[in-house]
Each structure stands twice: as structure tokens, then as C-alpha cells.
């Protein structure tokens, strides 16, 4: 808070002394009061939560913070509640509940993939879908994967690791493996979606910025009855060959007005990783804006 608001905070026993501009001091008081309410309710507060609370207070939206922490989406394998941490994440979760196709677009650390996996597990547990399909383009391997040694699992695992990590956190390793053996959870590269219709499934396409227009069209047309699709991507992290347009960018242009498809744009303020990650994103965005 001292760094964000340019104030000096000193604690003496149970008292807190704040010096600085009057308006900034009032923000500190509001933030501390709000955080104390959350702490008394048993909420664990991180550095990230404090930074986000200050940002909300500066925009006169601090009351939204208390509402955010009331929304428990699920419980992870260790019994810890999974909560939405930002307003952007709340819009994202609401969209996934409401629409059959949702695009979550934003920088790394905004929880796009993790929250999509959480919602997929919820849908499976509640009986809304019969299986979960997780996919991403293996762009580093040219998508064909043909020249790599080993069987399919060995070939694609390195590219799908982030999806496994999210699933392990929500379900645990043993249950994830068990459900994969049964075919209830399928993890595969995007190329293996061709020619299929995915009924009663919750399908997540991760790293969609590295798809071509043809690939993302192929993927979206796999949607079957009783299914839901979430497409996540970061348009600042495109790894396609030079001159190839991202399928995610094309989808944004072509499908923006299609009823039933929702685009949620997460911002640097929605980053829930180390606070330096948010600063790195902001610095690069500023540099890119100045160069255009």
C-alpha cells in the first residue's frame, strides 16, 4: 500500500499510523477495513489481494471486493476453496455458466485456463456433461507431431502440461489418471479433433492464439448437443510462423456479433500471479502502444 499510494504506514501494537495526502490516507483506511472484514470471515489475504483492493478503492469500487470473496466456485483437492479474485474473472465465470461458446482472452496469469478447468470439473460432477476434452495446438511441433519419437501420449504431454497441472490441482493426480483411463477426461492435440462431433462434453481449447483460422473454425464446428466450449488465448503471445494470422484474432473479428458466443477480455488488473507479472505486462503494453 505504501508503494501504490505513496504513503507511510507504521504499526504500533494494535494501532496503525498513516501519513500522506488526505485522500490517500482515506483509501488506506477503507482498504484495511475491507480486508479486516475478509480476514474475520476466515479468508486468507495475499499480497495480490491487497494490491487489487487498492486498485478497486482508487476507482471507488471497493464494495465489489467483499462480494467477490463470497463466490466460492469449487474446492480444490486439498479442500481449499477456489474463489474468483477479480471482477474480470467474475464476468468470465458468469459467461461460462450462461453461454455455450465462450472466449477468454487476456494475458498470462489471469486464470483463463485454470478457471475453465474448474468449471469443466463442476459440470462433470453435477452431471451436466459426460466428459471433459482438453486440447491445445502443438505449435512448437508444427502440429503434425509426426517426427517426434514415442507414442502419442509421450509426444503430446509436453505441450499439454499446463492443462494437466490445472486438472491435478482441482481433482488430484490419482483421480485425474483414473478418469483419463476411463475416457471421461481426454487430453489431445487440436489436430485430433478433426472429423468428430463432441456431444455432452465440456471442451477447452487452450493457447488458441496459436491456431490458424482453419483450425479454430474446425474446432468450433465440433460443438455437439449438450456441450460447452471455452476457448482461451493471449493475443500478445502468438508463436505462429511470420505472416500467418492468428485464428483467435480472426474469430474475434468474424464472430463478435454472433448471438450465443461471448468474448470476455481479461486485463492486466486480472492477473493473479506475482505482482511483478502485472508490472511486466503493463510495461510491455506501454512500450507496444508507444511504438504503434
pLDDT at 14: 82
Do residue 47 and residue 143 come from a single domain?
Answer: no
Do residue 103 and residue 164 come from a single domain?
Answer: yes
Do residue 214 and residue 164 come from a single domain?
Answer: yes
pLDDT in tens, 3-52: 888 889 998 888 889 999 999 999 999 999 999 998 998 888 888 888 88
Range of 13's domain?
2-68
Cα–Cα distance, 160 to 29 (Å, whole number): 45
pLDDT at 145: 46
User: What residue has cell string 455437439?
Assistant: 224
Residue 82 maps to a domain = no
Do residue 140 and residue 200 come from a single domain?
Answer: yes
pLDDT at 149: 47
Do residue 151 and residue 249 come from a single domain?
Answer: yes
- Last residue of one domain, picked from the residues 40, 68, 96: 68
SS (H, E, C) the chain: CHHHHCCEEEEECCEEEEECCHHHHHHHHHHHHHHHHHHHCCCCCCHHHHHHHHHHHHCCCCHHHHHHCCCEEEECCCCCEEECCCHHHHHHHHHHHHCCEEEEECCCCCCHHHHHHHHHHHHHHCCCCCEEEEEECCHHHCCCCCCCCCCHHHHHHHHHHHHHHHHHHHHCHHHHHHHHHHCCEEEEEHHHHCCCCECCEEEEECCHHHCCHHHHHHHHCCECCCCEEEEEECCCCCCCCCCCCCHHHHHHHHHCCCCCEEEEECCHHHCCCCHHHHHHHHHHHHHHHHHC
Do residue 272 and residue 235 come from a single domain?
Answer: yes
Do residue 118 and residue 261 come from a single domain?
Answer: yes
Residue 76 maps to a domain = no
How many domains does the chain divide into? 2
Q: What is the CATH number for 257?
A: 3.40.50.300
Cα–Cα distance, 171 to 166 (Å, whole number): 9
Residue 266 maps to a domain = yes
Do residue 7 and residue 143 come from a single domain?
Answer: no
Do residue 246 and residue 134 come from a single domain?
Answer: yes
pLDDT in tens, 54-80: 888 988 888 888 888 877 899 888 888
Do residue 221 and residue 172 come from a single domain?
Answer: yes
Q: Average pLDDT per run of 10 along the chain, which is 292 residues long?
A: 87 88 92 91 84 88 83 86 90 96 94 94 95 82 46 59 85 93 90 89 95 94 96 92 91 95 92 77 84 72
Amino acid at each position: 500500500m505504501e508503494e501504490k499510494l505513496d504513503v507511510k504506514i507504521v504499526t504500533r501494537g494494535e494501532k496503525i499510523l498513516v501519513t500522506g495526502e488526505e485522500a490517500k490516507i482515506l483509501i488506506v483506511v477503507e482498504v484495511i477495513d475491507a480486508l479486516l472484514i475478509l480476514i474475520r470471515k476466515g479468508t486468507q489475504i495475499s499480497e495480490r489481494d491487497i494490491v487489487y483492493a487498492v486498485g478497486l478503492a482508487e476507482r471507488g469500487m471497493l464494495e465489489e471486493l467483499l462480494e467477490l470473496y463470497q463466490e466460492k466456485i469449487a474446492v480444490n483437492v486439498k479442500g481449499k476453496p477456489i474463489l474468483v479474485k477479480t471482477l474480470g474473472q467474475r464476468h468470465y465465470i458468469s459467461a461460462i455458466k450462461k453461454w455455450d461458446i465462450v472466449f477468454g482472452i487476456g494475458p498470462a496469469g489471469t486464470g483463463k485456463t485454470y478457471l475453465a478447468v474448474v468449471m469443466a470439473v463442476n459440470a462433470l460432477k453435477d452431471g451436466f456433461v459426460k466428459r471433459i476434452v482438453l486440447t491445445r495446438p502443438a505449435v512448437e511441433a508444427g502440429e503434425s507431431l509426426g517426427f517426434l519419437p514415442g507414442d502419442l501420449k509421450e509426444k503430446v504431454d509436453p505441450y499439454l502440461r499446463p492443462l494437466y497441472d490445472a486438472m491435478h490441482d482441482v481433482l488430484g493426480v490419482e483421480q485425474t489418471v483414473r478418469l483419463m483411463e476411463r475416457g471421461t477426461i481426454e487430453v489431445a492435440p487440436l489436430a485430433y479433433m478433426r472429423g468428430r462431433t463432441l456431444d455432452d462434453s465440456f471442451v477447452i481449447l487452450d493457447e488458441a492464439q496459436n491456431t490458424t483460422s482453419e483450425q479454430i473454425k474446425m474446432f468450433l464446428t465440433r460443438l455437439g448437443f449438450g456441450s460447452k466450449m471455452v476457448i482461451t488465448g493471449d493475443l500478445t503471445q502468438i508463436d505462429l510462423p511470420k505472416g500467418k494470422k492468428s485464428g483467435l484474432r480472426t474469430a474475434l473479428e468474424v464472430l463478435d456479433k454472433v448471438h450465443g458466443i461471448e468474448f470476455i477480455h481479461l486485463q492486466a488488473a486480472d492477473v493473479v500471479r506475482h505482482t511483478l507479472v502485472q508490472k511486466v505486462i503493463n510495461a510491455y503494453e506501454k512500450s507496444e502502444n508507444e511504438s504503434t
